[in-house]
Structure 1
Amino acid sequence: MVTIEPIMIKGHFFTAVTVCLPKTTLLTISNNTGYIMCGALDVGLLNSRLVDRKIIAGRAVGVKTIDELLMAPLESVTYEAEQHGIFSGMTGVEALLQMVG
C-alpha cells in the first residue's frame, strides 16, 4: 500500500509518502527543495556518485511512521543539505523548515 498525504509545518506544505513493503516501510517527507527519508536513503551514494545533482536530503534511522520521521534526529545529510544549514542531529521538522527558508 502507498499513502500520500499533505502535511503542514508552521504554515508550509510538504508531501508525506509511506510505502508499505514486505518486512519494511519506506517513509519520505518532501517539498520542492529537498526531502528527508527513513534509513533506506543512501546518503553516501548521493554524496559520491550523484553529487553533481546537488540533492538536499537527510536520513533518519529506526523510524517506522511519518510522525517518528518528523521528530527523529537526522543520522546523516548530504553535502548540499549542509550548504542549506541542515546538519546531522537536527530533527526532521528542523531540517524541513530549513528547506523553506
Structure 2
Amino acid sequence: MMNLSPVEIGGHTFLAVSVQLPKTNLLVVTSEKGYIMCGALDVGLLNEKLQDRKIIAGRAVGVKTIDQLLDAPLESITIEAQNIGITKGMIGRDALLKMV
C-alpha cells in the first residue's frame, strides 16, 4: 500500500510518501527543493555518482513512521544539503524548513 499526504511545518506544506513493503516501510517527506528519507536513501551514491545533479537530501535511520522521520536526527546529508545550512544531527522537520 502507498500513502500520500500533506504535512504542515512552520506554515509550509510538504508531501509525505509512505510505501509499505514486505518487512519494511519506505518513507519520504519532500519539498520542491529536496527531501528527507528513511535509511533506504543512499547518500554516498548521491554525493559520489550523482553529484552533478546537486540533490538536496538527508537520511534518518531507524524510523518506521512519517512522524518518526520528521522528529529523527539526520544520520547523513548530501553535500548540497550542507551547502544550504542543513547539518548532520539536525532533526528532519528543521531540515525541511531549510528546503523551502
Structure 1 length normalisation: TM-score?
0.98
User: Comparing both chains, which one has the higher relative contact order based on Cα–Cα distances under 8 Å and sequence gaps of 6 or more?
Assistant: 2
Percent identity over the alignment? 66
Q: Which residue of 1 aligns with 2:47?
A: 47
RMSD of the TM alignment (CA)? Answer: 0.4
User: 1:87 offset after TM fit, Å?
Assistant: 1.0
Q: Which residue of 2 aligns with 1:17?
A: 17
CA distance in 1, matches of 2:26, 2:87: 22
CA distance in 2, matches of 1:42, 1:94: 21
Give aligned pairs, total. Answer: 100
Q: Which residue of 2 aligns with 1:96?
A: 96
CA distance in 2, matches of 1:7, 1:71: 13
Structure 1 unaligned regions, length at least 5: none
Structure 2 length normalisation: TM-score?
0.99
Task: List 4+ stretches of structure 1 deviating above 4 A.
Answer: none
CA distance in 2, matches of 1:32, 1:98: 11
User: Which letter does structure 1 place at the counterpart of 2:30?
Assistant: S
